[in-house]
Structure 1
Amino acid sequence: MTVGDLASVASGTHPHRAVLVIAELEPVVAPAARLGGLPVGAFAHRAGMITKPEVRSVVLGKLDLPATGVLWDLGAGSGSVAVEASLAAPGLRVIAVERNGADADRAVANAAALGATVEVVVATAPDALADLPDPDRVFVGGGGLEVLEAAWARLRPGGRLVATFAAVDRAAAAHRLLGSLVQVSVDRADTLPDGGVRFAADNPVFVAWGDKPHGDTDEARGPASEASTATAVVDPRPNSGVQVGSCWWSSTTDPIGTIAVGVGCSSDATADEVAAVVADALGSAPSNTMPPAVVATVDRRRDHPAILALTGLHRSGRGGPLPVMAFPSSLLAQVSVATPSAVVADAVGTPSVAEAAALLAAGPGARLVVTKRKGATATAAVAVGFRSCGVGRLTVVGLGPGAAQHRTPAAVAAVRSAEAVVGYGPYVDAVADLVHPAQRIVRSAMGTESDRADAAVALAAAGWRVAIVSSGDAGVFGMASTVLEAATAMVGTDGQPLLVDVVPGVTAAHAGAAAVGAPLAGAHAAITLSDILVPWERIEAQLRAAAGSGLALALYNPRSKGRPDHLGRARAILADVLSPDTPVAVVTAAGDHGQQIDVATLATLDPTVASMHSVVLVGTVDTRVDPTGRLVTSRHHPSGSGRSVTSVAGDTSDGSPAADAIDPGPSAPPLPAPPPQEGARP
């Protein structure tokens, strides 16, 4: 018997009938393919600008990396996805495209440090794609829908494209393009000072993906786009409709849903000119087609004589005049259409009136069935929805101070059940975990409250279920009053007043008060220091009157870039009324992650610690700072008999009325009458 390793045994001579026995040989195991998840610290990156490990794992899993071929990583940043893809599939050619030179340098360094092979191209997509080989896989981490569509056009048949988004409206558009979408939400454990554990939520990330069918050619249809689906509607009911040219028409007495004709016109358009272009838009239909149920246009043309003349058309589904639905140009501008116009955008603030208005008026899920028809002074388009004209409903939703745990169940239900969600951009982002791709998302900028309310009211009037979101409580310096005022003059498609609900929320004042103790335990007042809607003279009078009455104060909007000195001015006013030792707390991001608390007195308050995300809480003569630093306003006061009570700090009053009397300071001037609004809604 010969014993040895394989090399020595193989070099020797053995009998013809020898048996080779191999024992205790360590198995050779192929390295497992990584699915990502290297910690953030493994990569050099700009602060916060990196795909988190958990999202990276999902992305790489969805990419389903082949052993060979080409992968594009577009908007690669520091290259974390490209690097891990190379490590997972060493035979794959990985090309990372990044326009920022410093980030591209980091991607090169990260690949070298981790042993990955990545080609880094410093360029801007989609311009840079022309010089790259056709990919089998594409990851889009930045660049928007234009990059998405350009990458899809170059993707090889059978290939897959994966993209990530932080904004739900862009994710919804990608879902329509690619067909699949998931939301990735991660909660991270954090240790509390007492040794306990809490979980803090990362911002959710949306991952969309789609496969390019085999056999696609340059002429074949890529991912469905608004333009490519705008001129045809598929009827989900068998044999219930026919398509004639670019129009869908019902073969029964009822349409599949609301038929809306959208109309745009110049200020000098005549009734005959508008009627002619509308007739052209409807002219492709057989004689037995259903007439429209609503006319839609931009709000500035709501009362145009030529538009009003269209109400004499026969109305589908019910008698009476045809209603006119009008939408703000800012809302129409957010609707993707088949034939946008830069000329129209310059003139009225939206690239489409006729097509966009028709789509909104026809309701959720509507599609254009007749694209824009042009006349001398007017345009018209026709859209059909997938349900009949219904009664819309508008819900004003208070989201609370910020963190998801402070939302009420009613607020969550209102957002989830809405067909359209309207709000200031950051507030819409705050409910990204509640919305879904089927909803229409309408974002607006700061300072456009009236326009935002008009958009929500117009959608509800057209039959949509709308949620307009507001931080804190919508009735406290929020959107509730503005929406209710806008809804007063509006009726729905049924001719009845709009249904408007208000869902309450936790206010910033109460969240801030809870964070610092109980400074608002007694009577208190909330005052905004923003003079955008209220003149400063009125704010000054409110401060003097409230403080002079012994009320604790919650000051909203204390300081901003445009109003850097308002909190300082307010402090000077309060100093005329209150003791310099009055406790004050500035709570920033109250009730949210990153909450910050600054406790001071009226004399030592530093106004620069406050921002638009802060609420300033000002105590009273009954407010003390306890040994743990909490502000507590006592609810106990000396009785008329002079009986003493124990204060928060443990001292006792001597029972003298003067000891607990509130110094009203200088008498507060009467509140001036609000200035005339000249027709503008606050």
Structure 2
Amino acid sequence: MVLSPARRIDVLDNVAAGAVVLCLNAAGLQTAKDLKQALPGASLWGREGRIAAADVDRLYADTAETLRDLYRQGTPMVAVMSTGIVLRTLAPLLVEKRLEPPVVAVSSDGAFAVPLLGGHRGANRLAQAIAEASFGFAAITTAGDVSLGVALDEPPFGWTVANPERAKDVAAALLNGDEVGLEADSGDISWLEPAGFTSGAPVGVRVTHSSLTSDASLVLNPPTLTLGVGCERGCDGAELAQLVNATLVQENISKNSIACVASIDVKSDEAAILDLAQNLGVPARFFTPTELENFAPHLQNPSDIVFAEVGCHGVAEGAALAASAGGTLLVAKHKSRRATCAVGLNPQGVKPLSVGKGRGRLFVLGIGPGTDAWRTPKVTNLISQVSDVVGYGFYLDLIEDLIKGKTRHTSILSEEEARVRQALELAAEGKDVALISSGDIGIYAMATLVFELLDRENREDWNRLYIQVEPGISAFQAAAARIGAPVGHDFCLISLSDLLTPWDVIERRLKAAAQGGFVVSFYNPVSKRRRTQLAQARDILLTHRRPDTPVVLARQLGRADEKIDVITLAELTPDHADMLTLVMVGGEDTRLIERGQNRWVYTPRGYGGKMDTNLNGAKRVP
């Protein structure tokens, strides 16, 4: 199974996001990897003992227990294994079909995708998408899908079934050849046409944005409404939510038809608005004052006071109209003490991600030293969510498989500020952006520069961004793990680059580290232009450190040409390192031991002399 980027699966909802692709053995590994790449937000789990940890995001020990745990958690599953294994394992748990997560079994070669459970909760659609991407077949047996060509209780993305218990009876009537009528007051109903509804027949399916508390027909709510809101800064979220709920009840509007919450861009970080959108399960979209002012002639309640404050004559009504993209104002402004809301209508449907812009999100991510096994699942998941990635080209090449289809923004290594600034600008445009660095992005990397620019420039559009920093395994941690446990006691990190920090400051810190007896890890030890700093650092440490103190040289950690050496402090010269090398100098108690064919470096926990006394009855003599 080989997927081209052009055939990536796009299920347009959360069926794939959060799904787990389970691989049982090496025979299905390539298919499982392809599926992970095709399913946005999915993670890949492999059977321990059969799959290498480096090939997957996570290993699992017991197949049956893992399948049952994921089922109980409601996690969508794509199992690259036989249908018999999956069904026999999950059979005792099957009780209520409307609570089943999507479960799809896929053959090891990707030729067949079989929706086993949760067919109308996304499994049928998932199987069809997998089959399309793999040029295979989806073995769908659900009567409605096969005979009617449509699943009444699984409408398109954005639609909601108000009373799903009625779907079975309506589908049965259609399958029996009975005449069933369809009534719609809004929404694109072309997807329902294959079912064969009869004009003038008793209504069996009603498509409406109205709130119908009791109806004998199947009620479908289309995404045709926009909820425009405004509020004072720091407005209580409960007040805004109460205003919206009261308005919807008064106007007999179903919240299920709201496609997005919309407001002015200065409110893109307003907690009350963001919480409202999250609770409604829809995107929050934002517009500039100029964009909202374009709708001033269509407002029912224009306000000069609002114009003086924010630059447009109406926020709630203007946002509702702007987000409806050519629609009309269905409900004029309602207000409470500190909030306002209005409702727009576009009978053809609203595509929320195509109007306005979202609250920009910047994920500041460390991808670890370079191997997939050292990258956290959280970082992998966040990378899958973004549209743009910013970083030094070499670092982005390390995760090339993760960023296919995303917009790459690269620059040379020394242009750190330009990369950070670009990441902030892209996020300020409303995009989801990942700023990438190898190792840990908070250690001698770009996370600090993000907040330095925020502090220095104090730009309103940057200040409203959502920013999240996620750590990666740093070079010093990876080096320590490779050679034993040298940082088991107190340690420090020092960069020897004097491009940003004056050498006299670095020298002062070196002297303090030497006197303190710390294990010291040197970042940026040597470059083509800087050839003296490592030797100077060595000499300073030797004033308080034995000449035979172990020094770990770790180069290209986690990559194909990784190399780990151990020398003594007296032997250390600038020729031993470059910008890809982590130099770790042992502390006053650090030891090198040789056991069998292994060489290990460690630093005892507590005072080394005391440990020697406990173990050997005599203190170590330096």
Into which bin does the TM-score normalised by the smaller protein fall?
0.3 to 0.5
TM-score by length of 1: 0.40
More helix by share: 2
